[in-house]
């Protein structure tokens, strides 16, 4: 199944070359998608295959296909309220459980859970706290920062 980026790439090829969508090899679409990114998503096992999309869309695309993938909210879903977003619409990527845990730990280090010893916790975090944490967590991932508007 094509994700939204694949469909866009496929439509552009179809328009430019005048060929039927089903005549465009999946391999070509994937290669072009890889070239669209600066490369930081290729560091992850599955993220480049799906791109950056709303969590709900990624859950639909990965449901039942691979039990070893997790949909990772780029801004943790615990901040949906402060970010004034619905959880299903929050930008996300597909990661392995280990990759996902690494980012979860980084978020916890920056903004602790309620009841913990952290100075800033889930309920006291402001939008500015969340965005500053995201800048630090994703400093080495320009594609993610760009998607988040940072």
In this prediction, residue 39 carries a pLDDT of: 61
CB atoms within 10 A of CB 13: 18
pLDDT band at 1 (very low <50, low <70, confident <90, very high): very low
Q: Using DSSP, how many helices (H) and how many strands (E) does the chain show?
A: 7, 3
Q: Which residues lie closer than 8 Å to 85 by C-beta, 6 or more apart?
A: 75
In this prediction, residue 87 carries a pLDDT of: 96
What's the sign of the alpha-carbon dihedral 73, 76, 77, 81? Answer: negative
Mean pLDDT over 61-90 rounds to 92
Mean pLDDT over 97-111 rounds to 96
CA distance 131 to 139: 12
For every residue of 39-72, DSSP letters joined together read SGGGGSSSHHHH-SEEHHHHHHHHTTT-TT-EEE
Residue-range domain boundaries for the chain: 1-36, 39-147
In this prediction, residue 4 carries a pLDDT of: 63
CA distance 3 to 66: 16
Mean pLDDT over 26-38 rounds to 65
Give the global pTM.
0.74
Which one, of 132, 69, 11, 86, lies nearest residue 148 by Cα? 132
């Amino acid at each position: 199944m094509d994700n939204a980026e694949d469909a866009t790439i496929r439509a552009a090829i179809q328009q430019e070359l005048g060929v039927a969508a089903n005549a465009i090899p999946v391999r070509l679409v994937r290669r072009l998608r890889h070239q669209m990114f600066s490369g930081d998503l290729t560091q992850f096992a599955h993220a480049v295959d799906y791109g950056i999309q709303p969590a709900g869309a990624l859950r639909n695309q990965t449901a039942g296909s691979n039990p070893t993938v997790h949909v990772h909210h780029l801004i943790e879903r615990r901040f949906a309220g402060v970010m004034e977003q619905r959880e299903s619409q929050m930008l996300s990527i597909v990661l392995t459980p280990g990759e996902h845990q690494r980012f979860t730990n980084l978020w916890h280090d920056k903004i602790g859970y309620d009841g913990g010893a952290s100075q800033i916790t889930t309920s006291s975090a402001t939008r500015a706290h969340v965005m500053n944490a995201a800048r630090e967590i994703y400093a080495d991932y320009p594609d993610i920062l760009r998607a988040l508007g940072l």
